[in-house]
Amino acid sequence: MSDYLKLKKSNCKNCYKCIRHCPVKSIRFSGNQAHIIGDECILCGQCFVVCPQNAKEIVDDTEKVKVLMQDSPVVVSLAPSFAANYNGVGIGAMTEALKQLGFHAVEETAIGATMVKTEYERMINEENRDVVISSCCHSVNLLIQKYFPTALPYLADVLSPMQAHCSDLKKRYPAAKTVFIGPCVSKKDEAGRYKGTVDAVLTFEELSAWLKAENIELKEVPDSEEKSRARFFPTTGGILKTMACNNPKYTYMAVDGVENCIAALKEIESGNIKNCFIEMSACVGSCVGGPVMEKRHRSPIRDYSAIARFAGKLDFDVDMPESEEIRRPFEMIDRNIRQPSESEIAAILRQMGKIKQSDELNCGSCGYNTCREKAIAIYQGKAEISMCLPFLKDKAESFSDNVVNNTPNGLIVLNESLEVQQINNAARKIMNIRYASDVLGEQVIRILDPAVFLEVLNGGKDVRDRRIYLAEYKKYVEQSVIYDKEYHLLICIMSDVTDEETEREKKENISRQTVEIADKVVDKQMRIVQEIASLLGETAAETKIALSKLKESIADE
């Protein structure tokens, strides 16, 4: 199964959009990558259509077809939905272009559709059936085989138009290989699953790329064929439009879209639907709404109109095969899925933070409809706990709150209007604020001088480690104010340095007192020295005078 629809790992961005749109949740997330689970996939192609990164790709069989052409004539079975994909191009113009590519012959799959609808009519009128489900859509067949095996008896055991037509082609072209071209990825699996009838399948995108590479342009030449009512098959209700819905025992209805098909199958399993022929299509709008319709957009009215203009009012003339040649039984396909017990589901829910039922938001952000479905997927290895957005949000907020509220630094967050958005415990302690709710949403001027915030907001330059005194709170703080331009927030970080500042002032006072004492001691010592010097000066003068007088006395004698 995974051989036909693959993942480009480098492209996956873990957005979970594919799992949200997968009707059977057949996608596993592991290692931040999406992986398609082949045993569960019904190849509806929704993941391919909705992926915003083009991370899903369909395996291209163009080279395989080219190899087939080297050894054998290759005949094309062309799905009638081409009329909606290639606006204004008729079967004649398509045949001409395909033959230029090297195909031996081209016919419409609608020929096989005529055989199939005829067999449906025979089944309804000649067999004692209760509910009959059309078997043209391989994705619907896979859905029943894998997910609703009890409804298998109601699935018409008839070949699809593709297989019926290709079987007929191989009878008429015994040496030829057959290639189906259409809007459906599941046809690749159908061809591979029931080998020997269809040798290869190309999508319209593959065909267009091939035509472009060979510089072949499709001519917008419309044509018509009165005997072509089966061309309605690719539209919702198209099978019924070709059938003679005249058996009074039966109610005839058409259901499109996998979700609607699932709802109908549940009703059938419950026994609420009786005596009914149901045309089921996996794609909304049937095949013209297929995942590989090249336009890649929904144009239901225009597409239906294109088919209606192309289709006739009568049936193709066909050589109807014997009933046993066009019949094929369908068997159950085991998905090999383990189911958890209630206690195991509860344990996983607890890991996701879902302790009580009110915790289960069932928001669908993970891609699953309910938290319980997500828990089952985790048990089965298809999902991870981290895929729960509320869980991650709560975890991130809890972690953030733990960091914010346990850091020793005060933290205040303001918006550009200078309104307090967040304040932590340390900041409340610095400013003697009892409850955060007292200031949340209030102007910062209530608790702090807004000058520094206006400086940062208007100047665009952050303030780092500015030491200020908060006189109102008798606290010294080192303040940093950072402007987050991306989130338009001002973040103020304050470190209480009051003790450090007090200790510094104490040391400065001690130093100042020491200097003052030293100055006093020096002054005193200088005075003493000066006094001693003065005394010494007076004594020396007196001595000099006495000696002079003694010298004069001696000289006189």
**pLDDT tens digits for range 177-197:** 999 999 999 999 999 999 999
Residues 240 and 347 in one domain: no
Q: Is 539 contained in some domain?
A: no
CB atoms within 10 A of CB 9: 12
> Is there a contact between 366 and 343 (Cβ–Cβ < 8 Å)?
no
Mean pLDDT of 10-23: 84
Mean pLDDT of the chain: 89
CB-side exposure of 359: number of CA atoms within 13 Å?
13
**Distance between CA atoms of residues 7 and 183, nearest Å:** 20
pLDDT for 294 equals 66
Q: Is residue 258 part of a domain?
A: yes
Mean pLDDT is lowest, of 300-314, 491-505, 539-553, for 539-553
Domain enclosing residue 283, as ranges: 60-326
Res. 527: pLDDT tops 80: yes
Question: b/e for 451-484, b at 16 or more Cβ within 10 A?
Answer: ebbeebbeeeeebeeeeeebeebebbbbbbbebe
**Structural domain includes residue 507:** no
Answer yes or no: do 132 and 247 share one domain.
Answer: yes
Q: What percent of the chain has pLDDT over 70?
A: 93
Question: Does a structural domain hold residue 501?
Answer: no
Same domain, residue pair 234 and 305 = yes
Mean predicted confidence (pLDDT) in 378-395: 77
Mean pLDDT on 9-19: 81
Does 388 lie in the same domain as 364? yes
Q: Residue length, the chain? A: 557
Same domain, residue pair 16 and 84: no
**Phi, then psi, of 369 in degrees rounded to 5:** -70, -35
- Residues of the chain with pLDDT > 90, as a percent, come to 63
CATH number at residue 394: 1.10.15
Q: Is residue 360 part of a domain?
A: yes
Contact residues for 54 (Cβ-Cβ < 8 A; gap 6+): 8, 11
346 membership: H or E segment, kind and range: helix 342-351
pLDDT greater than 70 at residue 551:
no
Same domain, 356 and 453: no
The domain boundary, picked from 451, 469, 496, lies at: 496
Average pLDDT over residues 444-451: 94
**219-222: which pairs have CB atoms within 8 A and are 24 or more residues apart?**
219/89, 219/93, 219/96, 219/97, 220/87, 220/88, 220/89, 220/93, 221/88, 221/89, 221/90, 221/92, 221/93, 222/88, 222/89, 222/90, 222/309, 222/310
CATH number at residue 461: 3.30.450.20
Q: How many domains does the chain have?
A: 4
- Of 6-15, 78-87, 418-427, the poorest mean pLDDT is in 6-15
> Do 455 and 374 lie in a common domain?
no
pLDDT at 521: 77
What local confidence, expressed as pLDDT, does residue 399 receive? 66
pLDDT at 2: 47
Task: State the CATH number of the domain containing residue 35.
Answer: 3.30.70.20
The answer to whether the CB of 82 falls within 8 A of the CB of 97 is: no
Instruction: List, for residues 130-178, the tens digit of each pLDDT value.
Output: 999 999 999 999 999 999 999 999 999 999 999 999 999 999 999 999 9
Looking at the fold, whether 22 and 68 belong to one and the same domain comes out as no
Question: Is the predicted pLDDT of residue 1 greater than 50, yes or no?
Answer: no
Tens digit of each residue's pLDDT (9 = 90 or more) over 273-320: 999 999 999 999 999 998 888 655 568 889 999 999 999 999 999 999
For residue 457, is pLDDT > 70? yes
Whether residues 87 and 119 share a domain: the answer is: yes
What does the pLDDT read at residue 557?
Answer: 56
For 235-284, the pLDDT digits (tens) are 999 999 999 999 999 999 999 999 999 999 999 999 999 999 999 999 99
Same domain, yes or no: 135 and 32: no
pTM: 0.74
More confident of the two residues 4 and 426: 426
- Answer yes or no: is 226 within a domain: yes
- The 10s digit of each residue's pLDDT in 399-409 is 667 777 788 89
Q: Are 415 and 395 in contact (CB under 8 A)?
A: no
Identify the band that residue 392 occupies on the pLDDT scale cut at 50, 70 and 90. low
Residue 504 domain-assigned (yes or no): no
172 lies in the same domain as 247: yes
Among 299, 326, 353, which residue terminates a domain? 326
* 467 in any annotated domain: yes
228 and 352 housed in the same domain = no
The last residue of one of the domains, among 403, 437, 460, is 403
Bridge partners for 29 per DSSP: 34
